[in-house]
Every structure is written in C-alpha cells, then in structure tokens.
Amino acid sequence: MGKLFTSIDDDLAGWIGRQKIFFVSTAPLSADGLINCSPKGLDSFRIFGPTDVGYLDLTGSGIETVAHLRENGRIVLMFCAFDGPPRIVRLHGTGRAILPGDAEFNSLKAEFPNMAGARSIIRIAVARIADSCGYGVPRFDFVEDRDTLVRWAETKGPAGVVEYQRKKNAASLDGLPGLPASG
C-alpha cells in the first residue's frame, strides 16, 4: 500500500502544507532512554528543498528533540490526514538544532511567521520519504490553532523566556545536554 518517494515533489509538498499538525519523534542512543514524540502546529513547518525541511521550535517544558539531535541526529516527522482521503507520510532523516546566534538562524527564521518564544529551528536532511494508507486515522475537523504557547512567551518577554530556557531546557529527561548555557 505504501509508496517510497525520492524527494518531496510539488504534489506531496502541497499535501504536507495542508496538514494542520505533525508529529516529531526522536530517541537517545541508550537502550533504556526515553523515546520522545511531540505534536507540532502553528504554521511552523517549511520545505526548503526536495529533501531539506525544517520547523520552528518554540520554547516548551521539555528539550528532548534538541538533546536527542545533539546526541545522534535521528529524527522522523509524521503527517496524518485528518480530513480528505486517508494518508500518512513519514520523513526520516538527520536533524540538527540551529540556535539563535548560529550563522543561518536569522535567514531561516525569516521563512516562518514571527512568533515569540522561538528557541531553535530544527533542520532535517531527509533520507527516506514514505507514505502509508492511514485507514486507521480518525477524521477530525480543524477549529483553530491554539495561541497559548505564543501568548505565554509574549507575556514572559524575551528575558523571561531565556531565564525559563536556562532553568527548564538545559537537559533532557535522561540528562542529555539540551540548550547550551547562554550569557
């Protein structure tokens, strides 16, 4: 049933662009480490090229994705059709976190909506693109994006977000390094 793609063509890019949510999964190398799966939305995903994608990573309570990528780079993104024909698309690849202050951060950030609380851009070199049936995925109606995370960051202000990151995003649940200490 599934199909492998060599790249993200215009049709696949259009389908991905219409999805309102995607899921990001990473894992540490340790066999007893915690696997992470995070939902993402808020118009935060971009396709930079046929096998080059990324998303704007907003400050949150955990730092698992960044920590896992710093350790081993492995990542998969999953998109599901919750309306229209059933379909699941997975993008497997190697990712890295591009932090504010890194040379390419500002040029890539210009590709995304301006949202308070951006802590990194996760950029993925996609090595495998595959779809599957999605027959078991339920149908949902999209109501609207939640603005809670962005409003939280706006209320904290830039200095408050940095202080939060310093306290809550320094290490993963398994103790892997998260965000580097900032000045």
> pLDDT, tens digit, for every residue of 111-145?
999 999 999 999 999 999 999 999 999 999 999 99
Asked whether residue 32 is assigned to any structural domain, the reply reads: yes
Count of domains for the chain: 1
Asked whether residue 178 is assigned to any structural domain, the reply reads: no
pLDDT at 183 over 90: no
Question: Where does the pLDDT of residue 81 fall: very low under 50, low under 70, confident under 90, or very high at 90 and above?
Answer: very high
Q: Which CATH number is 25's domain given?
A: 2.30.110.10
Asked whether residue 112 is assigned to any structural domain, the reply reads: yes
Domain that holds residue 17: 3-136+145-168
Asked whether residue 177 is assigned to any structural domain, the reply reads: no
- The percentage of residues in the chain with a pLDDT greater than 90, rounded to a whole number, is 97
For 94-109, how does the pLDDT look when each residue is reduced to its tens digit (9 = 90+)? 999 999 999 999 999 9
pLDDT value of position 182: 63
Asked whether residue 35 is assigned to any structural domain, the reply reads: yes
- The percentage of residues in the chain with a pLDDT greater than 70, rounded to a whole number, is 98
Asked whether residue 93 is assigned to any structural domain, the reply reads: yes
For 22-35, how does the pLDDT look when each residue is reduced to its tens digit (9 = 90+)? 999 999 999 999 99
Asked whether residue 161 is assigned to any structural domain, the reply reads: yes
Q: Output phi, psi for 31, to 5 deg.
A: -65, -25
Cα distance from N-terminal residue to C-terminal residue, the chain: 52
Question: What distances in angstroms separate CA 156 from CA 15, 67, 113, 136, one per listed residue?
Answer: 35, 24, 19, 40
Both tokens of residue 26? Answer: 């990473």
